[in-house]
Chain A
Amino acid sequence: MPHAPSRRDVMLASGTLFAWAYMPKLALAEGRDPRFLTIVLRGALDGLATVAPVGDPDWIALRGDNALTLQSRTPALKLDAFFALNPAMPNLHRMFAANEAIVFHACATPYRERSHFDGQDLLESGLPKPAASDSGWLNRALAGLAPGGRVSVQGNKAFAVGPVTPLVVRGAAPVLSWSPQRILPASEDTTMRLLDLYRHADPKLAAVIEEHARLAAIERSGDMGQSPGQNVPGPAQVRAYFAEVAGTAAKFLAQPDGPRVGALALDGWDTHSNEGIAQGRLSQLLGALDAALAAVETNMGAAWRDTVVALVTEFGRTARINGTEGTDHGTATVALLVGGALKGGRVIADWPGLRSADLYENRDLKPTTDLRAVLKGLLKNHLRADDRTLAQSVFPGSDSVKPMAGLV
């Protein structure tokens, strides 16, 4: 039985959206108006099931019946002579064909153990090793950017959907919460009385209430009140929710005076058994993700040409299928970029091969591209973060990992 999250769980524990309250000044000075959305896929996405190395002679032997191929009943979608995309992702395929998507394969953070919780911490903290951290790389990147004009969110804040704040957005730039109003809210009068008490007695709680009130105001002004039907069946619920949260993020980011940099998280990728690569659980999740990307494209409107969306996950899964038609925790995987600002239509991979000797610890796809190089390249060339900040505070200890050039 797949551990498919119910709509309620997905809604409250993932779908986290936050954004910076300023325009990136340097980029604007160049006459660009960049949008950057990071989507964290929690649970470890199976990169080989997402983008299959159909040109590798060892591919079929490695995954057997679970290997996606161009000859499968539902054929994988050809990306180039070597790689093909899971057939559940036609929108991503279309974007790739339009040079608006880049796939990185055999890509990983510096993390080499296999704990989700450490892996996610490291993915989000940007630190080179697992260690306690109270801030995330995206928050620190924002703190290092020269602020331009203010967006309509007050103050240098980020904002989040849902009560569980993800590490990637925690940090010196305070996190501002935004959540869809699905329950009748307390009256403004009660809120103001409480806020008054908090201001005297508990400034931390006061800040949370203030930020919430500001975002509620934006939500009202931005025509974001609709929510999809509540009683649709299982996979459709996830599909509707992914599209809703990503689409809402795009609506915020598309507004002329709205935020420019955001992040959200989507859960459910931990496919230990009955993975369902061609049809089933993973196929449905990838389809939901694909629909979410289409929703971002649609809701960005004209801003799509200035947009980059980065999809990242904590690590990959075992190269081979395990004893229960799934995959266990692995190492390298894919990272996906979509958006009109990209020089896309490319799969970027220093392919490590799939023979036993090629695998990391004889079990996982070997990492050959450091995810930090990709993220640094985007932060540098899309948002104009400077090299020193990137190497020292955003991704500490990453001097040797050069920002990847030419992505946008």
Chain B
Amino acid sequence: MTARGREAAALALHRFGFGPAADSIAAIAADPQGALLADLERPQAGLVAANLPSSAESAREVFDFRAEQAAKQKLALREQKQAEAGNAAGVVDCRKPSGAPCAAPDANDAANQQPPPQIAKPVPPPAPPLPQQLFQNEAKARFDAALGADIGFVERLVWFWSNHFCISADKILEMAGPFEREAIRPHVLGRFADLLLAVESHAGMLFYLDNVQSMGANSTAGINRDKGLNENLAREILELHTLGVRSGYTQADVTSFANVITGWTWLPPEEPMHGGEFVFVQRLHEPGAKTVLGKLYPDTGLGQGRAVLADLARHPATAQHIAQKLARHFVADEPPPSLVAKLAKTFSDTDGNLKEVAKSLVMSEESWTPQRTKLKSPAEWTIGMLRLMATPQAIPVGRILGTQATLGEALWRPLSPNGYPDTEAAWIDGVPRRLDIAAGFAGQLAANNADPRAVLDSALGPLASAETRDTIARAESRPQALALLVMAPEFLRR
């Protein structure tokens, strides 16, 4: 099928991208479908050219930072004790509990004779501590990729896969961003099997789902120590990452698979050379052949887990599970079964070639349904709003993080391993908060003094209803008009 014209272009930008920036609709109106396919063919598609430390470097830096902080705290405590001892000897201690500098205790103090400074120098806000700084740098790279994209189709795929294979910064702050860059981005247009292996053998995931401590009961380490198996990662791989819940695997499969991946761990971050990197440790690995989903896997060490993952990647239930989630994400909460079937077939026929699956999504007629029922997620909507600004990259990263968190979708902090929800029912009650956010950004949206009716044309084009046009045109101010624009049903839904 071919969908052409400004209406299809606007639809494509909202449904498959992050929404239009100025002139986006006109730029792809000749061939919206072709523009989406071209996005898949860009060199370096999916990658961010950011000069950021690797997950292992990040883990080591944060470890060193925390060690240093702990040492400083110890020193401070000692000094405080000494000061208290001094107090007892009659020395006045003017320190405030807040740690603010001393006020002069005596009006006749020599320091008071100096003229007071005329204008207090503006004190720059203190730089955040290193772990938060690393996190913000990662967040900035991600936001800039979305804000600066022509369309953002591949970037939306990155977001999709990152949520599918989520880890949480609440558990491992220093790896949340690097994990996405290292395990997700290089593979979003590659083979699912490679994506899966990259994710499950990443230190971030192994830490997040507790595999780093897991050991086989009969492994060298397990025999000598009072520790053992943790089945968290194995269960979530089956339930969330590949086959899907209730797809036929049993508790025995979970336990057996958990034994297969014992020894998949990391080098602790305190190791100066390779700390924070993935490592397979034979002495944690449960020895012996194991049966998963009815198939016997000989004990080839690391290869045993790789073999199971390779088979899970090819399993028909995985194709179905991924197809369903992709179609739900891009098209509708209840996607057309025919679309799901097409995506699952492409997935199976191409051995999980994700670029082909993405093409199949773009080429399917069902993907272009004019019914735009899907409610954008809070994070997606936030980016769509900011893209209407001339220089959204100037918005402080902390404000974008705060906005998405306020709306319930804090970056890289899902509450559970199944990631953020992807249905209207989960998000619609947060719409009043979006209005408050939109009102808060309205000043910036109107900063370049553009005519709201022109912004409406570039943001929605032919998708805007007569009522929405009327509402925007009659707003009492430009900021109000633009707040209403990003809250219009046509902007909230795609």
- Nearest B residue to A208, CB-CB: B431
CA distance A198 to B313 in the complex (A): 44
Contacts of B468 in A (CB 8 A): 197, 201
Tell me whether A130 and B405 are in contact in the complex, defined as CB-CB below 8 angstroms, given that A164-B426, A183-B433, A208-B432 are known contacts.
Answer: no
CA distance A13 to B419 in the complex (A): 12
> How far in angstroms is the closest Cβ of chain B from A326?
8
Contact, CB under 8 Å: B415 / A5 = yes
Contact, CB under 8 Å: A1 / B172 = yes
Tell me whether A160 and B428 are in contact in the complex, defined as CB-CB below 8 angstroms, given that A1-B171, A3-B168 are known contacts.
Answer: no
Contact, CB under 8 Å: B407 / A191 = no
- Nearest A residue to B479, CB-CB: A190
Contact, CB under 8 Å: A117 / B418 = yes
Tell me whether A323 and B489 are in contact in the complex, defined as CB-CB below 8 angstroms, given that A163-B407, A163-B427 are known contacts.
Answer: no
The answer, yes or no, to whether B353 is at the interface (CB within 8 Å) is no
Tell me whether A193 and B431 are in contact in the complex, defined as CB-CB below 8 angstroms, given that A186-B439, A323-B228 are known contacts.
Answer: no
Contact, CB under 8 Å: B425 / A170 = yes
Among A31-39, A88-96, A265-273, A300-308, the one that faces the other chain is: A265-273
Contacts of B229 in A (CB 8 A): 322-323
Contacts of B429 in A (CB 8 A): 160, 162-165, 175, 177, 208
> How far in angstroms is the closest Cβ of chain A from B412?
11
Tell me whether A3 and B170 are in contact in the complex, defined as CB-CB below 8 angstroms, given that A193-B471, A270-B416 are known contacts.
Answer: yes
> How far in angstroms is the closest Cβ of chain B from A88?
22
Contact, CB under 8 Å: A193 / B415 = no
DSSP majority for the B interface?
helix
List A residues 196-250 near B (Cβ within 8 Å). 196-198, 200-202, 204-205, 208-209, 212
CA distance A115 to B254 in the complex (A): 12
Contacts of A12 in B (CB 8 A): 405-408, 410
Tell me whether A163 and B210 are in contact in the complex, defined as CB-CB below 8 angstroms, given that A13-B408, A114-B251 are known contacts.
Answer: no
The answer, yes or no, to whether A187 is at the interface (CB within 8 Å) is yes
The answer, yes or no, to whether B232 is at the interface (CB within 8 Å) is yes
The answer, yes or no, to whether B369 is at the interface (CB within 8 Å) is no
> How far in angstroms is the closest Cβ of chain B from A399?
25
The answer, yes or no, to whether A80 is at the interface (CB within 8 Å) is no
Contact, CB under 8 Å: B378 / A184 = no
Contact, CB under 8 Å: A183 / B406 = yes
Partner of A177, one of B432, B437, B488: B432
Contact, CB under 8 Å: A183 / B437 = yes
Contact, CB under 8 Å: A272 / B210 = yes
- Nearest A residue to B487, CB-CB: A194
- Please classify how large the interface on chain A is, using the bins under 10, 10 to 19, 20 to 34, 35 or more: 35 or more
Proximity bits, B217-261, A CB within 8 Å = 1, else 0 = 100001000011111100100010000011000010000000000
Tell me whether A202 and B170 are in contact in the complex, defined as CB-CB below 8 angstroms, given that A163-B378, A186-B438 are known contacts.
Answer: no
The answer, yes or no, to whether A179 is at the interface (CB within 8 Å) is yes
Proximity bits, A154-179, B CB within 8 Å = 1, else 0 = 00000010111100001000010101
The answer, yes or no, to whether A134 is at the interface (CB within 8 Å) is yes
CA distance A114 to B250 in the complex (A): 10
The answer, yes or no, to whether A30 is at the interface (CB within 8 Å) is no
Proximity bits, A1-24, B CB within 8 Å = 1, else 0 = 101111011001110000000000
CA distance A267 to B487 in the complex (A): 30
Contact, CB under 8 Å: B170 / A184 = no
The answer, yes or no, to whether B304 is at the interface (CB within 8 Å) is no
- Please classify how large the interface on chain B is, using the bins under 10, 10 to 19, 20 to 34, 35 or more: 35 or more
The answer, yes or no, to whether A328 is at the interface (CB within 8 Å) is yes
The answer, yes or no, to whether A406 is at the interface (CB within 8 Å) is no
Partner of B213, one of A4, A184, A273: A273
Contact, CB under 8 Å: B413 / A184 = no
- Nearest B residue to A65, CB-CB: B226
CA distance A219 to B435 in the complex (A): 18
Partner of B210, one of A113, A187, A324: A324
Contacts of A3 in B (CB 8 A): 168, 170-171
Contacts of B458 in A (CB 8 A): none
The answer, yes or no, to whether A361 is at the interface (CB within 8 Å) is yes
The answer, yes or no, to whether B41 is at the interface (CB within 8 Å) is no
> How far in angstroms is the closest Cβ of chain B from A327?
10
CA distance A184 to B439 in the complex (A): 9
> How far in angstroms is the closest Cβ of chain A from B99?
14
CA distance A324 to B493 in the complex (A): 45
Contacts of B406 in A (CB 8 A): 8, 12, 182-183
CA distance A267 to B430 in the complex (A): 19
CA distance A134 to B425 in the complex (A): 9
The answer, yes or no, to whether B106 is at the interface (CB within 8 Å) is no
- Nearest B residue to A163, CB-CB: B430
> How far in angstroms is the closest Cβ of chain B from A104?
25
> How far in angstroms is the closest Cβ of chain A from B340?
15
CA distance A165 to B423 in the complex (A): 11
Contacts of A326 in B (CB 8 A): 210, 230
Contact, CB under 8 Å: A200 / B467 = yes
Contact, CB under 8 Å: A118 / B231 = no
CA distance A298 to B115 in the complex (A): 56
Proximity bits, A110-131, B CB within 8 Å = 1, else 0 = 0001111110000000000010
The answer, yes or no, to whether B421 is at the interface (CB within 8 Å) is yes
Contact, CB under 8 Å: B489 / A198 = yes
Proximity bits, B447-483, A CB within 8 Å = 1, else 0 = 0000000000000000001011001000110001001
> How far in angstroms is the closest Cβ of chain A from B349?
28
> How far in angstroms is the closest Cβ of chain B from A369?
23
The answer, yes or no, to whether B324 is at the interface (CB within 8 Å) is no
- Nearest A residue to B246, CB-CB: A130
> How far in angstroms is the closest Cβ of chain B from A139?
12
Partner of A117, one of B172, B245, B489: B245
> How far in angstroms is the closest Cβ of chain A from B453?
15
CA distance A308 to B429 in the complex (A): 27
The answer, yes or no, to whether B176 is at the interface (CB within 8 Å) is no
Contacts of A201 in B (CB 8 A): 465, 467-468, 488-489
The answer, yes or no, to whether B389 is at the interface (CB within 8 Å) is no
Contacts of A184 in B (CB 8 A): 436, 439-440
- Nearest B residue to A117, CB-CB: B418
Contact, CB under 8 Å: A163 / B435 = no
Contact, CB under 8 Å: B436 / A196 = no
Contacts of B408 in A (CB 8 A): 12-13, 162-164
Tell me whether A183 and B428 are in contact in the complex, defined as CB-CB below 8 angstroms, given that A12-B405, A328-B230 are known contacts.
Answer: no
Partner of A361, one of B251, B416, B425, B484: B251
Contacts of A187 in B (CB 8 A): 439
CA distance A130 to B172 in the complex (A): 32
Contact, CB under 8 Å: A116 / B416 = yes
Tell me the B residues contacting A by CB distance below 8 Å.
168, 170-172, 210, 213-215, 217, 222, 227-232, 235, 239, 245-246, 251, 378, 405-408, 410, 413, 415-416, 418, 421, 425-433, 435-440, 465, 467-468, 471, 475-476, 480, 483-484, 487-489, 492-493
24 A-B pairs whose Cβ atoms sit less than 8 Å apart in the complex: A1-B171, A115-B235, A115-B246, A117-B416, A117-B418, A163-B378, A163-B426, A163-B429, A170-B425, A177-B429, A185-B436, A186-B483, A189-B480, A194-B484, A201-B468, A202-B489, A208-B431, A273-B213, A273-B230, A322-B229, A323-B230, A324-B213, A324-B228, A361-B251
Q: Which 7 A-B pairs have the closest CB atoms?
A: A163-B430, A323-B228, A186-B439, A212-B432, A202-B489, A163-B408, A177-B429
Give 9 new A-B contacts, CB below 8 A, not counting A164-B408, A170-B425, A197-B471: A12-B406, A12-B408, A43-B416, A177-B432, A179-B432, A193-B475, A205-B489, A323-B213, A324-B214
